[in-house]
């Protein structure tokens, strides 16, 4: 959902009538809040399912995370657009970034990831690769089944301790 979209455009894209949309959501702001909550719940459930803390070796967790997040790119991109407008989104994104940072620190401690690269850079690089993979799929430049593997291998090519 684009912040500038009219309720009519949103209804058209959803394949429903504007009146139906208005019966459910009285305003664009109410709809935006509902979409935000739904996206946060979906991504939160994926993160929980992947098991960042206790899901096994770091490279295995990163592979599962890429498999889970790349198809959710639209929700991720929506939340990034909302980041500066919604405190709930800011808190959730910060919590996820900290969980990912903990995973990166574990990767360093295990000898998988480079210790000479700031953890925040590793986190930002990972998230940027996920976003770029989703955009590549969205625009037909990447095959959906190839994109998660490209995220993982590109990340590890630059961040692996023995690189």
Tell me: pLDDT of 47 over 90.
Answer: no
The span from the CA of 76 to the CA of 111, in Å, is 30
What digits encode the pLDDT tens for the residues 22-31? 777 787 777 7
pLDDT at residue 48 in the model? 86
Tell me: pLDDT of 143 over 90.
Answer: yes
The span from the CA of 102 to the CA of 98, in Å, is 6
Under the banding of pLDDT at 50, 70 and 90, the label for residue 102 is very high
Mean pLDDT of the 30-54 span: 80
pLDDT at residue 51 in the model? 83
Mean pLDDT of the 37-48 span: 82
Under the banding of pLDDT at 50, 70 and 90, the label for residue 5 is low
Under the banding of pLDDT at 50, 70 and 90, the label for residue 12 is low
- Which has the higher per-residue pLDDT, 120 or 89? 120
pLDDT at residue 132 in the model? 92
pLDDT at residue 4 in the model? 63
What digits encode the pLDDT tens for the residues 70-100? 988 777 777 777 767 778 878 888 888 899 9
Tell me: pLDDT of 108 over 60.
Answer: yes
DSSP 113: B
pLDDT at residue 1 in the model? 52
Tell me: pLDDT of 141 over 60.
Answer: yes
User: Exposure string (b/e) for 59-97, b if CB count within 10 Å is 16 or more?
Assistant: bebbbbbbbbbbbbbebbebbeebeeebeebeebbeebb
- CATH superfamily membership of 35-159: Tetracycline Repressor, domain 2 (1.10.357.10)
- Which has the higher per-residue pLDDT, 22 or 111? 111
């Amino acid at each position: 959902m684009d912040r500038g979209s009219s309720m009519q455009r949103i209804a058209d894209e959803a394949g429903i009538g504007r009146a139906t949309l208005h019966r459910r959501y009285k305003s664009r702001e109410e709809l935006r809040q509902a979409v935000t909550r739904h996206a946060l719940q979906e991504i939160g459930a994926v993160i929980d399912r992947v098991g960042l803390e206790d899901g096994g070796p770091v490279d295995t967790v990163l592979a599962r995370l890429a498999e889970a997040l790349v198809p959710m790119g639209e929700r991720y991109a929506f939340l990034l657009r909302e980041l500066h407008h919604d405190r709930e989104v800011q808190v959730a994104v910060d919590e996820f970034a900290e969980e990912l940072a903990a995973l990166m620190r574990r990767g360093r401690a295990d000898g998988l990831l480079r210790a000479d690269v700031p953890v925040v850079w590793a986190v930002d690089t990972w998230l940027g690769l996920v976003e770029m993979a989703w955009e590549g799929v969205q625009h037909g430049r990447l095959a959906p089944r190839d994109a998660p593997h490209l995220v993982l291998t590109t990340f590890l090519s630059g961040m692996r301790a023995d690189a």
